[in-house]
Amino acid sequence: MTTAPATPVRTRFAPSPTGFLHLGGARTALYSWAYARHFGGTFVLRIEDTDLERSTPEAVQAIIDGMQWLGLDHDEGPFYQMQRMDRYREVIGQMLAAGTAYHCYSTPEEVEAMRERFRAAGEKPRYDGTWRPEEGKTLPAIPEGRKPVVRFKNPLDGDVTWHDVVKGTITISNKELDDLIIARTDGTPTYNFCVAVDDWDMRITHVLRGDDHVNNTPRQINILRAIGAPLPEYGHLPMILGSDGQKLSKRHGAVSVMEYPAQGFLPEAMLNYLARLGWSHGDDEVFSMAQFCEWFNLEHLTASAAQFNNEKLAWLNNYWIKQADNGRLAELAKPRMLAAGADFDNAPDLATVLGLLKERTNTVNELADAAMLFYRQPQPDEALMTQHFTDAVKPALAQFAERIQTVEWTKEAIAAAMKEVLAANGLKMPQMAMPLRLIVTGQLQTPAIDAVLQLFGRATVAARLAKYL
């Protein structure tokens, strides 16, 4: 049993809007959302848009669209870092006054020369602290007309240690960390500084993110300590791999979340699948989001990379299609069918048709394709008609066409009429069902022929039989 944290849970999802919402980001958002929901906490959406060259309004919208499709509703936000510049400058001013940050006038070329000297000496390349103020140290004269960056005065000794809720205890020596630039020469703050201030201001208690952020964590911890802020708990999730064990990329199929609704996947299937890519609850494979939020905890997150499997996702999607309301499926399928030329005039009710077909389809697209047989004129293959519409079966079909004029139009009554005609003519079911399918639907394979005929309606079935008889 997971015990509730001492303070109210506040989690965040903080994507950079430099592209679409990808599957790894969606999983991070899901876990952060579910942890907040589990404890009745707060889920914050924050857009980290300080990379002006790569951030775009289209990418922001793609992230928000992806979150909305998945149903990962945020309680606060979206907050935009570019709208918080005054706050960042205020904190930088306070740090300069407190001596936890300082102005550095070294040029990028000078810093690269320092790094090169360390490389040549076989040491880790870094800034050498030329402008770092220390007791008894005389700083160089400030070059005329040169604008400084602001650097964080990182501790020189000791370690940064945190208990990672996914990876366990992680320790990084402060000697490994540079005096990080926290504001550029034009005054704009840098990524790690903004994240630390945001997590402080937004009272974030738990940070779940990809393990590509592990190296950022000690820097952010040191900044948080320097500004007197409490530390959140951190958990770094392993990456999602393709089925070949390589980093998930476009060659593995769709990686943008919003490509999946276009392919006919349901959000509950995607959420169900993503939930299991790095977390488990015994052997449970299929569960709703309400159940997931009830079960979700940090103890059962796994530190090993997960492999994305399209077949498993399709299997789950089939399950959730079978659970879905037929009217909802009709709303999803109808635009696709109209684009394919479907004619809904004098045709069966689409929701009823989809209810008949959904057992055997993995995506809404497959379901829409399968339903088209009810909404277009049949065009049976001539060779198949020659094979199945034989002289031996024509009398039976003629009798069946006569019988259906008066039979009660139910699946059971239609089936009974077929059996009587078959018995009277000494035929087996496939001998009559195959040409009947071709004439009425244009296809050899359909669900049970009695159910299909019932949906088409007496008039349509009679008219299509009459065309051949």
Cis peptide before 435 (omega within 30 of 0): no
**Please, which residues have CB within 8 angstroms of residue 113's CB and are 6 or more apart in sequence?**
none
**36 within 8 A of 11, measured Cβ to Cβ:** yes
**Please, which residues have CB within 8 angstroms of residue 436's CB and are 6 or more apart in sequence?**
397, 400, 449, 453, 465
**24 within 8 A of 248, measured Cβ to Cβ:** yes
Q: Any idea which residue has 């504001």 for tokens?
A: 183
- Largest Cα–Cα distance in the chain? 112
CA dihedral 384, 386, 388, 394 (to 10 degrees): 140
Q: Parallel, antiparallel, or unpaired: how do β-strands 181-183 and 149-152 relate?
A: antiparallel
End-to-end CA distance of the chain: 71
* C-alpha angle 81-64-367 in degrees, rounded to nearest 5: 165
Residue ranges of the binding site for ATP: 250
Half-sphere exposure of 415 (CA within 13 A, CB side): 8
Q: Parallel, antiparallel, or unpaired: how do β-strands 42-47 and 76-80 relate?
A: parallel
**80 within 8 A of 49, measured Cβ to Cβ:** yes
CA dihedral 253, 259, 265, 270 (to 10 degrees): 80
Half-sphere exposure of 306 (CA within 13 A, CB side): 23
Distances (CA, A) of 154 to 96, 170, 359, 365: 13, 18, 61, 55
**450 within 8 A of 411, measured Cβ to Cβ:** yes
Residue ranges of the binding site: 250
- Rounded (10°) angle between helices 411-425 and 449-456: 120
Strand partners, 45: 13
For residue 203, give both structure tokens.
């009272």
Phi, psi of 67 (to 5 degrees): -65, -40
